[in-house]
Structure 1
Amino acid sequence: MSSSAAESVVVGTAPGPELHLLRHGATLHRLVVTGGDGVRRDVSVALPGAAELLASSDYLGGTIGRYANRIAGGRFELDGEKLEVATHDRGNHLHGGPDGFDRRTWDLVSHDADTARLRLVSPDGDQGFPGEVTAEAAFSVAGDTVTLELTAETTRPTVVNLTSHVYLNLEGGGSVDDHLLQVPASSYTPVDETGIPYGGHAPVDGTPFDLREPARVGELVRSAHEQVVQAAGIDHNLVVDGAGWRPVAVLSAPRTATRMELWSDQGCLQVYTGNFLDGTQVSRDGRLLRQGDGIALEPQLAPDTPNHPEWPSAVLRPGELYRSRMAWVFTATPPAGR
């Protein structure tokens, strides 16, 4: 690991958001914002540096690829060809495989006070995926908004699904139990004990996945619903209503009067409540990271999409541009309108 890969690239300035990025994994290593209580705090959950990230399997702050979420058994068919990709999660492919994009050193293409663009070239056959893929992660700060645009191009037909795995804690530490989460999604994706969809999407009505009104995170993760018990919390895909650029989640912390509105152009949102944080890792600020210390809201395609032709496709072909945008908007109170 080179020292330059571990050095922070700073984007943005007070009183607005300030990002500290690592070339290692195109990782969002710090996200400092001014809370509604007037206090500036880091609202991301992170490890001390690149060495600790390499030793971890929790994707803290990383840019995820070549394929975010799970692919059943690491197997799928593309244009009539049966493919196998690397597996490391209960027999399934997860988040790009055991050596995904979050574990690579990205090139810093450009950087100024308010923007940074990083690039990674993934060779043909990387983790079993066909095609050389060139991916870029462009971070920017404007006003109260942090934007990330992820793009990719390929030399051969392949599948691509990129996202950010930033864990948020709007109180700056401790549990997110008292955070309120709202997601405008009328359906979710039930999964088996290994996190793989076992059918189609299902209505959220009458389940803890009905987040159309704000819900306390601590109550959600302690639900007796079999899907929550099986996953030891929430680790599920929500199919967000509507299409195109729109708000896909609102996370708020009453204790710090801080609100984050997440915008995305993706069809789905994986909600993960840090179920596998088990107290064996020490955070950047010296705390033991425990279950529920952060929440990841990951805009993306649905899990196992390559094996579900009835869902929006993950296929990327030569000459096409994969593009995914997301934005975190921080405010003290609900905005009058956007």
Structure 2
Amino acid sequence: MTGANQSNVSKFLLLGFSRQSQRQQQLLFGLFLSMYLVTVLGNLLIILAIRTDSRLHTPMYFFLSNLSFVDICFSSTIVPNILANILSSQTISYIDCLTQMYFFIVFTDMDNFLLTVMAYDRFVAVCHPLHYTTKMTHQRCALLVTGSWVIANMNALLHTLLMARLSFCANNAIPHFFCDISALLRLSCSDTHLNEMMILTEAALVMIIPFVCILVSYICITCAVLRVPSTKGKWKAFSTCGSHLAVVSLFYGTIIAVYFSPSSSHSAEEDIAAAVMYTVVTPMLNPFIYSLRNKEMKGALTKVISMKFFSVQQ
């Protein structure tokens, strides 16, 4: 097909919040801006606390600081564009749309991989505590994070290049608030068979294999904890994993609701609400989930906030 790699559409319309009245859009602008600021501030505090407190220089907190950095980037890929669209035009250029899709895939994959790595870390800590320091070395932790970044970028590049070869001839209205890959495929007037096949195989494996690894890790952790004789020991072991389980449930719950359930079973508004949960709400809640139940993290955060407060006072 000639010109298959040329797009006749220079801009897309993001219709996610276009049905709301002006008053509702103003409320949404204030809500999204507040949530974005909380997300950035909360995750920055987590990173600062981990970097400044030597007690938190462990594999678990190393992965947590990387997760906080990814959450800042993930939210920054989506929310500023939402705010701009609410304030002015609801359009996004073709290049910006593909760029947003690329970084959306990268940071979604990184969230996915880091949650898996953190589950492995908890598995080693609970099931093989005597070998923890030898298995979770600095080199291995750095290798796990670096490998995650490489795979995430390769996966995003693959889907972005496949999308760039498609043509968009007439309809340019995306019924979403960001450039979601499935929404773009529905607009294309080219043959999308290859794109869909890669989503059903490679992209599905990128999500499903880590999720299965997390499930297996926590099945092993549960079996190990149940063998602990004392109730106090069981509670302590479960409490170290509780925060991570909460984040995993929130992240995968909304992903499954959007991408792994029949499209006929939910409306476009429900899709948008679920997407807001994992693109905006989850990155905002992660710092609270990891800090509220963690005495070491609360102590480090209190120390960082006190230092900043006194430096401002002086």
Query: What is the TM-score of this pair, normalised by structure 1?
Result: 0.27
Which structure is larger by alpha-carbon Rg, 1 or 2? Answer: 2
Query: What is the TM-score of this pair, normalised by structure 2?
Result: 0.28
Higher strand share: 1
Higher helix share: 2
